């Protein structure tokens, strides 16, 4: 679900880049970078079972939401955004999905990080004080 969130947000920003943002020398490159990052993070989420991709998803979603909220309230590099239109709501929802789903995946992977068995249950060996863990004859 996190991959869908970042990919949809990236696609919306690519569409907006093509439509108008390419004309703005500050916001345009940011929209293009957002589109590329969305694709790359989505691929990483689907192919790399590590804590980094979901962390990128959360960061991507939060950074994009902060930029939108800034544009919607005080303006950002000459762009003032409103709360209307399909692109605004699609991007907003997809970025919330990226943050929430990325956070869930991150928490799940963090919970499994101590696991060394394929079933996902943590395994450990406890040795008595001073013990080496080696079996002794007759024990």
Q: What is the pLDDT of residues 21-39, one digit of tens each?
A: 899 898 889 999 999 999 9
92-101 pLDDT per residue, tens: 999 999 999 9
Predicted local confidence at residue 10, as pLDDT: 96
Mean pLDDT value across residues 76-93: 80
CB < 8 Å & 24+ apart, contacts of 110-117: 110/51, 113/51
Domain definitions of the chain by residue range:
2-112
Task: Answer whether 109's CB lies under 8 Å from 49's CB.
Answer: yes
Of residues 76 and 75, more confidence is placed in: 76
How far is it, in rounded angstroms, from Cα 24 to Cα 15? 14
* Strand, helix or coil for residue 26: coil
Output the average pLDDT for the chain. 83
Tell me how long the chain is: 139
Please state the φ and ψ torsions of residue 79, each to the nearest 5 degrees.
Answer: -105, 125
Asked if residues 77 and 2 have their Cβ atoms less than 8 Å apart, the reply is: no
What is the pTM for the complete model shown? Answer: 0.75
pLDDT tens for each residue of 106-135? 999 888 775 544 444 444 444 445 544 444
Predicted confidence at residue 88, as pLDDT, reads 85
Nearest of 56, 58, 60, 55 to residue 12 by alpha carbon: 60
Bigger pLDDT: 112 vs 78: 112
Between 72 and 102, the higher pLDDT residue: 102
């Amino acid at each position: 679900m996190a991959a869908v969130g970042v990919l949809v947000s990236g696609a919306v920003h690519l569409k907006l880049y093509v439509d108008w943002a390419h004309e703005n020398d500050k916001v345009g490159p940011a929209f293009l970078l957002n589109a590329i990052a969305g694709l790359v993070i989505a691929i990483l989420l689907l192919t790399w079972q590590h804590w980094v991709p979901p962390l990128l998803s959360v960061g991507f979603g939060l950074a994009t939401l902060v930029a939108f909220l800034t544009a919607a309230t005080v303006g950002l590099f000459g762009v003032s955004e409103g709360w209307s239109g399909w692109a605004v709501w699609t991007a907003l929802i997809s970025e919330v999905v990226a943050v929430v789903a990325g956070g869930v995946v991150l928490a799940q992977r963090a919970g499994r990080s101590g696991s060394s068995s394929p079933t996902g249950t943590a395994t450990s060996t406890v040795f008595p004080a001073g013990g080496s863990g080696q079996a002794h004859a007759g024990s």
